[in-house]
Amino acid sequence: MLQITPRQPRLLIVDGNTRDQREAHASGYDGLSPAQAYAQEVAAIAPGAVTDICLPADEGANLPDGAGLSSYDGIFLTGSSLHIYRVEPAVTRQIELMRAIYASGTPCFGSCWGIQVGAVAAGGTVVQNPKGREIGVARRITLTEAGRTHPLLAGRPLAFDAPAIHLDTIAVPPPGATVLASNAYSAVHAAEIAHDGGVFWGVQYHPEFPLRQVASILRRMTPLIIAEGFRRDEAEAERWLAEIEALDANKTRHDVAWAHGFDEEVLDDARRVTELRNFLEMRVKAGMGARGRG
């Protein structure tokens, strides 16, 4: 009997960073750009998936049109060091691309900058958070009533911590948004947004970041970390980041985990990527079956 091998998902990862930002990330993290690092995390969940990367922050970038977007089974939006309220081509190109993603109907997920792009493209507002920056880990992200039964957050406890590095936050969710999680810093930490025939899932935190990647990014931010009072000087900052890296390398360092207040939602790699796995299973693979692509 002829056996038909199921087709693997075809995925697009949209890197929200400029060339300089991508190169800075790669210099401190195994030579990987943010999109390449994201693809690595996705590949661990969906081995065999075919992944493309596009770079909308770059002038002249070859971006997919509506038909090209529709050819993908799922789209991921990375984080970025850009600020979406600064009107510049590297930003506006990404907003327009997100509007095209909505119109294509292709399942889309975004982290941090990604949820901000998803919100603004649908009519929401993003601002610099008056409460300041969330850095390293977002604490006590709490599910809303809608979030308790939403498939994006299936498997998460009612309150949890997650890797996070962001200054900006969604101030006004767009029409068609359902807020799924919040904490003391950000009223919108997870959301579903329905717009123009498409449905977007996003989180303000970074389930795709292992602790070592968090430390790599924060190391480049050392002057800012000191200026904003998170650490007193370079030596203290370096000790902090070295401990985070040591914990990433050896998850049995319970002394370090206790000192930093990290629990299994952050330390266990399978639990950390809960939202990525849920999106791949419940939107991408389920959508492939519904669209006759599986």
Q: In this structure, what token pair is assigned to residue 293? A: 């692509």
pLDDT attached to residue 184:
96
- Asked if 76 and 47 count as a contact pair (C-beta separation under 8 A), the reply is no
Say yes or no to pLDDT of 1 above 60: no
Burial of 21 by CB count in 10 Å (0-12 exposed, 13-18 middle, 19+ buried)? buried
pLDDT attached to residue 2:
44
Say yes or no to pLDDT of 4 above 50: no
Whether 230 is in a domain gets the answer yes
Residue 233 shares a structural domain with residue 183 = no
Say yes or no to pLDDT of 237 above 90: yes
pTM: 0.95
Residue 200 shares a structural domain with residue 86 = yes
Residue 237 shares a structural domain with residue 201 = no
Residue 149 shares a structural domain with residue 94 = yes
For residue 270, give every residue at least 6 positions away whose Cβ sits within 8 Å of its Cβ, in sequence order, or none. 277
Q: How many structural domains are present in the chain?
A: 2
Chain mean pLDDT for the chain: 94
Say yes or no to pLDDT of 248 above 50: yes
Active site includes 208?
A: yes
> Residue 27's domain is classified under what CATH number?
3.40.50.880
Task: Return the beta strands (E) in the chain as ranges.
Answer: 10-14, 50-54, 74-77, 108-111, 125-128, 134-143, 159-166, 168-172, 177-182, 190-195, 198-203
Whether 1 is in a domain gets the answer no
- 194 in helix, strand or coil? strand
Measured between its terminal Cα atoms, the distance across the chain in Å is 19
Q: What is the pLDDT of residues 271-281, one digit of tens each?
A: 999 999 999 99
Which candidate in 112, 150, 195, 243 is catalytic? Answer: 112
Q: Tell me, what DSSP letter sits at residue 206?
A: -
Alpha-carbon span 222 to 218, nearest angstrom: 6
The whole domain housing 76 covers: 10-208+273-290
Q: In this structure, what token pair is assigned to residue 182? A: 């919040």
Residue 26 shares a structural domain with residue 94 = yes
Which candidate in 41, 134, 208, 265 is catalytic? Answer: 208
pLDDT attached to residue 288:
82
Tokens 């993003």 belong to residue: 126
Whether 151 is in a domain gets the answer yes
Q: Tell me, what DSSP letter sits at residue 173?
A: P
Q: In this structure, what token pair is assigned to residue 133? A: 């920056």
Which candidate in 150, 189, 195, 206 is catalytic? Answer: 206
Q: What is the pLDDT of residues 86-111, one digit of tens each?
A: 999 999 999 999 999 999 999 999 99
Residue 191 shares a structural domain with residue 282 = yes
Residue 66 shares a structural domain with residue 144 = yes
DSSP character string of 229-288: TSSSSHHHHHHHHHHHHHHHH-TT-HHHHHHHT--HHHH-HHHHTHHHHHHIIIIIIHHH
